[in-house]
Chain A
Amino acid sequence: MLRVENLQASYGAILALKGISIEVNEGELVALIGVNGAGKTTLLSTIAGILRPISGKISFRGESLIGKSPEDIVRKGISLVPEGRDIFSSLTVEENLRMGAFVRRDRLEYQRDLEKIFALFPILKQRLNQLGGTLSGGEQQQLAIARALMSHPSLLMLDEPSLGLAPALVDQIFELITTLHQQGTTILLVEQNVDRTLEIADRVYLLQTGKVKFSGTAAEVRHQGEVEKVYLGGIE
């Protein structure tokens, strides 16, 4: 479904991606792990069209995404929930969700989608007319994911969804990701919480200083002991 080949991109003056290749198949939950500065967020930003790559290929369902604007890429079915959530704090929860559904114009479908979202995120129904900025961190994260789901993405990219949340809320977010995965959503997940991520991911890419250090199923990554080497062994 998504294929990234030999991608190079820089973040400011730093070459953050030094030739990365990854693949995500339909229905998979693929995780990107690695320490800060490994290039995980840069990779998601480049796929979403926020950053222009220096070289390499990105294709989605056989179609190249290179040079496409973020708005075009959303229309093709890739939705990004960025790190730090970035909900519209001066818009109400409902307006946030309406923005999420911007690429879908069908009014009836919008109402049906809202009902589905409320089933997944009951708290959002209670907060519907509240401003996004008044929500707690966990509620904001739920809103950010809900907003992304409103566009019916074929591929959902989540950047550090559990960052800064209380442990109970972290559980809730991981449960939610599992549910979405079981419902058939293809997910590309970036997470710091490696243990929890290995529990739910189908496949894992371990990134280190802009390169793929190791890739395989979650079980393979565990047995190889690669994670420990990268996280505890410091940077080469």
Chain B
Amino acid sequence: MLSVEFLLNAITLGSLCALLALGLVIVYGILKLVNFAYGELIMITGYTLYLLNSAAPLPWLVMALIGVLVAMFTSYSTELVAFRPVRTKSLTAMLITSFAVSTLLQNAALLLISPRARAVPLPKLFSASVTILGIAIPWRNILTILTSLILLVGLTLLLKKTILGIALRAAADNFQMTRLMGVPANMVISAAFVLSGLMAGIVGLFWVGRTASVTPTIGGAPLLIAFVATVIGGMNSLVGAVVGGYIYGVIFSFLGVMLPQSLLDYREAFMFLVVILILLFRPEGLIRGAGTGERVG
């Protein structure tokens, strides 16, 4: 049962979940805001692909790049227009604002494009597979895993080696103190939203690739996955987000193999059961984050 195919599928899903969770946590760490408009960034990437393809079909890679850039820009803009004005008011105000942004974007897609699914262009490679040692491996899986690895390594280097990255980590640790170091508050927050948009955009390419279509409500499921993965891994840690993402992928795939056919529709319910069990024993998530482990001496 624990075949190579199973493992590959689990890691593929896990990679997507890890990126999703990272994008959510990178903003949460600094603002303590669960951005409910996060899923809509995936929707935006999908519609950008659709619109570009119907207006002027470019090479897929170019369209994909534009799609990711649009997601990053949208993320940055929502911070500028919606979150920044209410940032100093209260966390509740920001949370409600994120619901508003989410609803606004969904309805814009509904009204301006269509409530029905729209076809998204995919590269030929996505439906091809390669046979290694007698096992057929879909290229889509390989690409997902490789892209995630590159992104994770890149993000790690950014966070560890650059002054902006260190400032981002410092801001997640202690935001006020970071400002007292002379780091502009707006700069780190904007950077966090841009990175969050990057994650959502890249996941978006693979996410819409699953069904080759995009709908106004496509962002709901990935938002929930990101949220659950961060709860498993720990909300205060970027490493936790990645770990939580991969665990989500593995458990979800495992349930798909384990559950009898008649219960397969209830896979999500079983998933939540596992989450509840994890939280019963580790309420802070599997990995404790920064700021909570302060030592007084």
Contacts and interface: CB of A to CB of B under 8 A. Distances in A.
A89 B177 contact: no
A36 interface: no
A71 B296 contact: no
A74 B180 contact: yes
B129 interface: no
Interface string B239-261: 00000000000000000000000
A89 B290 contact: yes
Interface string A82-97: 1000101111000100
A95 B166 contact: yes
A98 interface: yes
B132 interface: no
A98 B296 contact: no
A160 B169 CA distance: 26
B174 to A, nearest CB: 6
Interface stretch (A129-137, A200-208, A215-223): A129-137
Nearest to B294: A89
Contacts of A151: 181-182
Give the most central of B163, B167, B180, B182: most A CB within 10 Å.
B180
B297 A71 contact: no
A67 interface: no
Contacts of B185: 69, 71
Interface string B181-220: 1111100000000000000000000000000000000000
A44 B177 CA distance: 14
A90 B290 contact: yes
A140 interface: yes
B179 interface: yes
A82 B176 CA distance: 11
A164 interface: yes
B173 interface: yes
B182 A74 contact: yes
A99 B296 contact: no
Given A89-B293, A95-B166, A133-B295, A71 B173 contact: no
A137 B294 CA distance: 11
Nearest to B172: A90
B176 A90 contact: no
Interface in A99-141: 99-100, 102-103, 133-138, 140
Given A71-B184, A90-B169, A99 B178 contact: yes
Contacts of B173: 88-91
Contacts of B44: none
A73 B293 CA distance: 30
B154 interface: no
B214 to A, nearest CB: 38
Given A88-B170, A89-B173, A90-B169, A100 B181 contact: yes
Nearest to A137: B297
Interface of A: 48, 50, 69-71, 74-75, 79-80, 82, 86, 88-91, 95, 98-100, 102-103, 133-138, 140, 147, 151, 164
17 contacts: A70-B179, A70-B180, A71-B180, A71-B183, A71-B185, A74-B182, A80-B180, A82-B177, A88-B177, A89-B173, A89-B293, A90-B289, A99-B167, A99-B178, A137-B297, A140-B297, A151-B182
